[in-house]
Homo-oligomer: A and B are copies of this chain.
Amino acid sequence: MDEKELEELVKKVVKGEIKFHEVEEYTDGDSELATEIRRKALERLTGVELKHIGSYTIDANEAMAKNIENMIGAVQVPVGIAGPLLVHGEYAEGEYYVPLATTEGALVASVNRGCSTITESGGAHVRVVWDGMTRAPVFKLPNAREALKFLGWVQEHFEEIKEVAESTTRHGELIEIDEFLTGRHAFLRFRFDTKDAMGMNMVTIAVEEAVKWIEENYPKAKCVSVSGNVCVDKKPSWLNNIMGRGRSVVAEVEVPRDVVEEKLKTTPEAMAEVNYRKNLVGSATAGNIGFNAHHANIVAAIFIATGQDEAHVVDGSTGYTTMEVTEDGDLYASVTIPSLNVGTVGGGTRVETQRECLEILGVAGGGDPPGTNAREFAEVVGAAVLAGELSLVAALAAGHLGKAHRLLGR
C-alpha cells in the first residue's frame, strides 16, 4: 500500500466511514498495517502523538489473531529481575531469576531482598496442593425438587458428559462436577485438568458443549448462563479459597535468626507480631478475603511479565501468610495461595516479550509430561510471593515502608 492509499484509509477511519475493527478488510488482513492506520487515525481524532505506543517489536498479526482487537500498538512495562531465588518444589528445583513487570517503584528491590533471604536460608519449599480450572453454568429448573433430581442425573451421566466436553479439546480432562443448589438454581462446577494452559477458554468451550448436550437430554434444565459466578472467575470468592481453583500453592521457608537480622534488619518476633496484628487481626477486622500483606503485588508483576491473564491478579490476592517464631528462635514463614491461575501455553504467553520472560524461568511452552511446566511455574510464583511477603513484613516491622518509597523519590 502506498502512502496515499494509507492516508485515504486513515481519513475514512477518522470520519467514521471505516470503523476501527473494519480496517483489516482494507489491508488484505495485514494487521501490522491496520494497526498503523488505526493509530494514525486515533492521533488525529485525539490530537495526541503516539510515538512510543507505535514503537513495538511484537508481531501484530500474531497478536491480532489471538490476543487483541483494534490494535494500535503496545505499552511498554519496565521489567526488573529478582533473584536468584532458590526453590525446592515437586517440579521446580534450583535457582530462578524472576522477571517482574511493574511501575511501582521499590517492588523489585523488595522482592529481590526476599529472594536473597530465602536463598541464603536454603531455599523455599513449595507444593502445588490442588489443580483444576473450573467453570460453573447456572441452570434454572421448574422447581428445587426437580433441580435436585437434575443434579443426581448429572452425576449418573458423568461419563457421557465427560466425553462430550472433552471432544472439544486435545489436552483438557474433565475431573469432576461439583454441584450447588440455591432454590431452583442448579450450579454445575466443572473442573478440568488443563495441563500447561491456564485453561479458562478451553474450559468454557468444553462446558458450552456439555451444556448443549445436557439441555438436549434433560429438557427441563435451562442453562441461563454458561458462567453462573460459582466458577469463580475474577471475583474474590470464598468458594475458591475453600475449594481451590487453578493451582493451589503453598510455599514456606525457615529463616535463621541471624539471616533475619542481617538481611531483613529486624527480628523473628517483630515479624511474627506484624503478621499476627496486621495479616490476621487486621484482615479479620476489615472483612478481607486475603490474610496477607501484598500477595497481589508479586502476582501482578509476574503475570504481566509472563503474559498471564492480568485480571487473574484478583484471584491471586486472596491467600494467607503465616509467620511464627520456631522453638529454636528462627522464623517460620509460609504463604498459601488458593487460586493461582497460571499457564505456560496459550493466551498472552506467546507474545514475544512475555515468552522471553517465561524462558528466563525455563518454563515456556508445554511441559513434558504435559502440565509440568505450568506447575513448575506455579511453584516459582509461590516462592516469589513468599519472598515479597518476607520483605514487606520485615520492612513494616522495622518501620521502613515509607522510607523505601521516599528514597526512590515517590
A4 — which chain B residues lie within 8 A by C-beta? none
A359 — which chain B residues lie within 8 A by C-beta? 46, 48
Minimum Cβ distance to chain B for residue A108 (Å): 4
> Is A103 in contact with B307, judged by CB distance below 8 angstroms?
yes
- Count chain A residues whose beta carbon lies closer than 8 angstroms to a beta carbon of B: 161
> Is A53 in contact with B353, judged by CB distance below 8 angstroms?
yes
Minimum Cβ distance to chain B for residue A353 (Å): 4
A273 — which chain B residues lie within 8 A by C-beta? 224
A79-102 CB mask vs B (1 if < 8 Å, else 0) is 111100000000000000101011
A183 — which chain B residues lie within 8 A by C-beta? 250, 252, 281, 320, 322, 334-336
| A402, CB-defined interface residue at 8 Å | yes
| A175, CB-defined interface residue at 8 Å | no
> Is B97 in contact with A42, judged by CB distance below 8 angstroms?
yes
In the complex, residue of chain B having the shortest beta-carbon distance to the beta carbon of A298: B311
| Residue of B68, B103, B239 touching A354 (CB-CB under 8 A) | B103
A112 — which chain B residues lie within 8 A by C-beta? 20-21, 69-70
In the complex, residue of chain B having the shortest beta-carbon distance to the beta carbon of A253: B143
Whether A77 contacts B290 in the complex (CB less than 8 A), given A42-B360, A138-B282, comes out as no
A354 — which chain B residues lie within 8 A by C-beta? 75, 103
Copy number in this complex? Answer: 4
> Is B286 in contact with A109, judged by CB distance below 8 angstroms?
no
> Is A317 in contact with B310, judged by CB distance below 8 angstroms?
no
> Is B242 in contact with A290, judged by CB distance below 8 angstroms?
no
Whether A301 contacts B310 in the complex (CB less than 8 A), given A285-B185, A402-B204, comes out as yes
> Is A236 in contact with B288, judged by CB distance below 8 angstroms?
yes
A286 — which chain B residues lie within 8 A by C-beta? 180, 229-230, 232, 237-240, 242
| A18, CB-defined interface residue at 8 Å | no
Minimum Cβ distance to chain B for residue A231 (Å): 8
> Is A250 in contact with B144, judged by CB distance below 8 angstroms?
yes
> Is A68 in contact with B105, judged by CB distance below 8 angstroms?
yes
> Is A104 in contact with B70, judged by CB distance below 8 angstroms?
no
A236 — which chain B residues lie within 8 A by C-beta? 236, 288-290, 314, 317-318
Minimum Cβ distance to chain B for residue A266 (Å): 12
A344 to B288, CA, bound (A): 28
> Is A235 in contact with B292, judged by CB distance below 8 angstroms?
yes
User: What are 16 residue pairs bridging A and B, where the CB atoms are less than 8 Å apart in the complex?
Assistant: A48-B360, A66-B408, A68-B103, A68-B105, A69-B106, A75-B354, A78-B351, A138-B281, A140-B277, A183-B250, A183-B335, A187-B285, A227-B401, A239-B288, A242-B285, A300-B313
Q: Which 3 A-B residue pairs are closest in the complex by CB-CB distance?
A: A103-B348, A238-B287, A229-B282
